[in-house]
A and B are shown apart, each in its own frame.
Chain A
Amino acid sequence: MSELLPYLTMGLYFGGTLLFLLYLWHRSDAISKISLVATGLGFVFHTSALIMAMVSTGHVPIMTFKDAMSFFAWGLVLVFLVVGLKRGLEVLGAFILPLAFLSLVSANLAPQSADTLAPVFQTVWVHVTLSILGTIGFAVAFVAGLMYVMQERLLKSKQFNVLAFKLPPLDFLDSLNQRSILFGFPLLTLGILTGAVSAQLTIGSYLSWNSEQIWALITWFFYFAVLMGRVTAGWRAKKAAYLTIVGFAGVILTFVGILIKSPQPMTPL
């Protein structure tokens, strides 16, 4: 059963993704209900798999690239279920679910690494968990930015189609964008700090200037600038949307950097 769970999860997320994309172009609300059920069921399987892994290893399963991506996807779906159900915004699913599904797929495409961590590395999991949670925040900001740009274009070009009807209002998307960064940024900061500390403990240096660390720092400065720019220079609305879309590209590059370096124990961001 436990071997089946990842496939069930992936299958259900795939179904949810397709249905949500269909929902985007279709007037009927019934589709979104079915895709919500598929996603919810997938989430239940996903959570069970995570709990099983946690029970057997004693910590959040994030030590391999595959596990980390799976945890990332899990967090994204959780955010969608919470925000989407609370606000009645099923349309978010059409953007978040594909991202979650792709993360799971890339997790399974990545080379399998059978690392058994040296005991001293066990402290690393705090750093990794924090970094992934921070990344989830940026991913949601990216989704909000993407939806903002789409809705903005539809309004400017005066296309009153189904998509424009379903996408949320601009100010909601802008505030979702800001809140997601406000959620992700402190976590990323803590993630980087704990990473530096555990690096000091294990290899005796806070920073080794490898590519992923450099990208992580660039990412950190970038989102710091985005947050500051909103307050001081009015980087909000359309500008903020574009910035977060670009910023997420930086995050993805960091992941790719880690992927290339696999199968080392991963230290994302």
Chain B
Amino acid sequence: MNIIVLGLNHRTASVELRELLAIQDSRMGEALGRLMAYSGIKEAMYLGTCNRVEVYAVVEKGEWGFRQLEDFLVSTHFSLSSEDLLPHLYRYSDDEAIAHLFRVSASLDSMVVGEPQVLGQVKEAYELALTHRSSGVILNKVVKKAISVGKSVRTNTRIGEYAVSVSYAAVELAKKVFSNLKQRVVLLVGAGEMGKLAAQHLVNQGVKEVLITNRNHHRAFTLAERFHGQAVPYEQLRSTLPKVDIVICATGAPHYVITKDDIEMAVYHRMNRPMFLIDITVPRNIDPAVKDVDNAYVFDIDDLKAHVGHNQEERLKEAETAEHMVREEVGSMVAWVRGLEATPTIVALRKKAEEIKQGELEKVFGRLGELSPKERAAIEGLASAIVNKLLHGPVVTLKSEAQSQNGFAFIEAARRFFELREREIHSGEIPLLEDETGDGVTEEPLPQKDGV
């Protein structure tokens, strides 16, 4: 049994190709049904985001599974051939597949490292797999863990804390001046695209009031409606300034719209209450000399870009911590999955029974004192008979059911009933005990390296 992933992402394929492979939620049932119809695929999940298309599956034999997944992806879109697709695909199995999913869900594999959407997308993909019953014991456990790793990376590192878009950087900087944006009044001058974006971010933060002014008053009105704000006649720009805490300037004007004098007057009338000004346009609309006015903080597009650049560095540093967290979690997950093999479970079960038997025998022999060899043999035989007869049912069931659709559930149940820990199962290299029914375990243990 192997966990495998086949997919392509923003590094390996163009967005056009990724789009071709996208599957809408409404058609996911059919797609997952198609996947599960391949013999040898026991569980499957389809993850499609703007950065990636990936299919996760639990299969009987890895190599065969990859071929089936390739076949599935190629047939997603009629215009695709395997020659188009194959060069862009990456394949991971077992440890690497689990690590990959964990990294994806921790947003370490995203184009913008630390972006918050991917965690939600992994959740949705998992829910769709649950709804369409393509997820089973293994994917349930692995994907749930991936989601919790993603969450813990978000809460325990600062990976998502730094703004990486220029318009959002304006919000982050404003928060260095004003702790609570909810009491603040914003003035948007002009209707430049970036300016509108920055204003939108501020509105999302719940600012108290948005004022909009534009040379074209009609345009100001339209924007005011969009932001639920108030249009101010352009001629009143100067007299409005003292009332506002945050100014976003994004006009197309080739000259300064706000001068140093304007801001000096405004700060004076505000009795030194600080002002925060963002100049998003080139050429600049706010006189750079405004920076010399006390209690006025002006940032232009280059400052914002520098801030974003610095933030990206910070995110990458945080990503190192996150990678470390992911690696730790992968280890324990891999151990769990390995334990789901029938053979090591049976070995561990027998080992445990043998240990209990030996322990009890020693106690009894100690208490009984001198015994003849015949008596000893009788007692030992009794103990062995009880242990073997008790284990017979579970062992036979495990072997027969391991191949069935619910096989992993049986193995997982056996592990819980008999309290077999991953470690015990893992170290299951001792030779199998003689089975009195002659029903010896004959199937070959899978090679350790990729024997998940």
Asked if B177 contacts A169 (CB within 8 A), the reply is yes
Asked if B306 contacts A238 (CB within 8 A), the reply is no
Asked if A236 contacts B317 (CB within 8 A), the reply is no
B178 adjacent to chain A (CB < 8 Å): yes
Q: Across the interface, name the chain A residue whose C-beta is closest to B295.
A: A237
A235 adjacent to chain B (CB < 8 Å): yes
Asked if B297 contacts A160 (CB within 8 A), the reply is no
User: How far apart sit A234 and B269, CA to CA, in the bound complex (Å)?
Assistant: 9
A27 adjacent to chain B (CB < 8 Å): yes
User: How far apart sit A238 and B270, CA to CA, in the bound complex (Å)?
Assistant: 14
Determine how close the nearest CB of chain B comes to the CB of A68; give it in whole angstroms: 35
B116 adjacent to chain A (CB < 8 Å): no
By a CB distance below 8 angstroms, the chain A residues around B317 are 27
Asked if A171 contacts B274 (CB within 8 A), the reply is yes
Determine how close the nearest CB of chain B comes to the CB of A232; give it in whole angstroms: 9
Asked if A168 contacts B179 (CB within 8 A), the reply is yes
Determine how close the nearest CB of chain B comes to the CB of A166; give it in whole angstroms: 11
A17 adjacent to chain B (CB < 8 Å): no
Interface magnitude class on chain B: 20 to 34
User: How far apart sit A234 and B158, CA to CA, in the bound complex (Å)?
Assistant: 38
Determine how close the nearest CB of chain B comes to the CB of A162; give it in whole angstroms: 9
Query: In residues 172-188 of chain B, which contact A (Cβ within 8 Å)?
Result: 173, 175-180
B338 adjacent to chain A (CB < 8 Å): no
A79 adjacent to chain B (CB < 8 Å): no
By a CB distance below 8 angstroms, the chain B residues around A180 are none
Query: Which of A34-42, A44-52, A151-159 lies at the interface?
Result: A151-159
What is the 8 Å Cβ interface bit string for chain A, positions 207-245, against chain B (1 contact, 0 not)? 000000000000000000000000001111111000000
B103 adjacent to chain A (CB < 8 Å): no
Determine how close the nearest CB of chain B comes to the CB of A152; give it in whole angstroms: 9
A164 adjacent to chain B (CB < 8 Å): yes
Asked if B177 contacts A238 (CB within 8 A), the reply is no
Asked if A160 contacts B177 (CB within 8 A), the reply is no
By a CB distance below 8 angstroms, the chain A residues around B178 are 169-171
Asked if A27 contacts B274 (CB within 8 A), the reply is no
By a CB distance below 8 angstroms, the chain B residues around A155 are 173, 176-177, 297
Asked if B175 contacts A169 (CB within 8 A), the reply is yes
Provided the pairs A170-B176, A171-B179 are in contact, do residues A158 and B299 lie with their beta carbons within 8 angstroms?
Answer: yes
By a CB distance below 8 angstroms, the chain B residues around A172 are 179
User: How far apart sit A238 and B273, CA to CA, in the bound complex (Å)?
Assistant: 9
Q: Across the interface, name the chain A residue whose C-beta is closest to B302.
A: A158
- Residues of A in contact, count (CB < 8 Å): 21
B264 adjacent to chain A (CB < 8 Å): no
Determine how close the nearest CB of chain B comes to the CB of A27; give it in whole angstroms: 7
Determine how close the nearest CB of chain B comes to the CB of A31; give it in whole angstroms: 14
Q: Across the interface, name the chain A residue whose C-beta is closest to B169.
A: A160
Determine how close the nearest CB of chain A comes to the CB of B439; give it in whole angstroms: 55
Asked if B272 contacts A239 (CB within 8 A), the reply is yes
The listed residue (A160, A167, A169, A236) touching B272 by CB distance below 8 A is A236
Query: In residues 156-178 of chain B, which contact A (Cβ within 8 Å)?
Result: 158, 173, 175-178
User: How far apart sit A235 and B295, CA to CA, in the bound complex (Å)?
Assistant: 11
Asked if A171 contacts B177 (CB within 8 A), the reply is yes
By a CB distance below 8 angstroms, the chain A residues around B297 are 155-156
User: How far apart sit A156 and B176, CA to CA, in the bound complex (Å)?
Assistant: 12
Q: Across the interface, name the chain B residue whose C-beta is closest to A169.
A: B179
What is the 8 Å Cβ interface bit string for chain A, positions 156-196, against chain B (1 contact, 0 not)? 10101100100111111000000000000000000000000
Determine how close the nearest CB of chain B comes to the CB of A189; give it in whole angstroms: 25
B310 adjacent to chain A (CB < 8 Å): yes
Asked if A237 contacts B273 (CB within 8 A), the reply is yes
Determine how close the nearest CB of chain B comes to the CB of A60; give it in whole angstroms: 35
Q: Across the interface, name the chain A residue whose C-beta is closest to B300.
A: A158
By a CB distance below 8 angstroms, the chain B residues around A234 are 268, 270-273
B307 adjacent to chain A (CB < 8 Å): yes
B303 adjacent to chain A (CB < 8 Å): yes
Asked if B272 contacts A158 (CB within 8 A), the reply is no
B291 adjacent to chain A (CB < 8 Å): yes
User: How far apart sit A237 and B177, CA to CA, in the bound complex (Å)?
Assistant: 11
The listed residue (A158, A233, A238) touching B295 by CB distance below 8 A is A238
Q: Across the interface, name the chain B residue whose C-beta is closest to A231.
A: B271
B294 adjacent to chain A (CB < 8 Å): yes
By a CB distance below 8 angstroms, the chain A residues around B314 are 27
Asked if B271 contacts A236 (CB within 8 A), the reply is yes
User: How far apart sit A16 and B299, CA to CA, in the bound complex (Å)?
Assistant: 36
User: How far apart sit A160 and B297, CA to CA, in the bound complex (Å)?
Assistant: 14
By a CB distance below 8 angstroms, the chain B residues around A27 are 158, 314, 317-318
By a CB distance below 8 angstroms, the chain A residues around B179 are 168-169, 171-172
Query: In residues 298-352 of chain B, which contact A (Cβ within 8 Å)?
Result: 299, 303, 306-307, 310-311, 314, 317-318
By a CB distance below 8 angstroms, the chain A residues around B299 are 158
User: How far apart sit A141 and B270, CA to CA, in the bound complex (Å)?
Assistant: 22
Q: Across the interface, name the chain B residue whose C-beta is closest to A158.
A: B303
Asked if A151 contacts B176 (CB within 8 A), the reply is yes
By a CB distance below 8 angstroms, the chain A residues around B173 are 155
By a CB distance below 8 angstroms, the chain A residues around B180 are 171
Asked if A160 contacts B310 (CB within 8 A), the reply is yes
By a CB distance below 8 angstroms, the chain B residues around A160 are 306-307, 310-311
Chain A residues at the B interface, C-beta cutoff of 8 Å:
27, 151, 155-156, 158, 160-161, 164, 167-172, 233-239
Please name 20 pairs of A and B residues whose Cβ atoms are closer than 8 Å in the assembled complex, sorted by A: A27-B317, A155-B176, A155-B177, A158-B303, A167-B176, A169-B175, A169-B178, A169-B179, A170-B274, A171-B274, A172-B179, A233-B271, A234-B270, A234-B271, A236-B272, A236-B273, A237-B272, A237-B273, A238-B295, A239-B294
Q: Given A233-B271, A234-B268, list of 14 further CB < 8 A pairs?
A: A27-B318, A155-B176, A155-B177, A158-B299, A158-B303, A158-B306, A160-B311, A164-B176, A167-B176, A168-B179, A171-B178, A234-B270, A237-B272, A239-B294
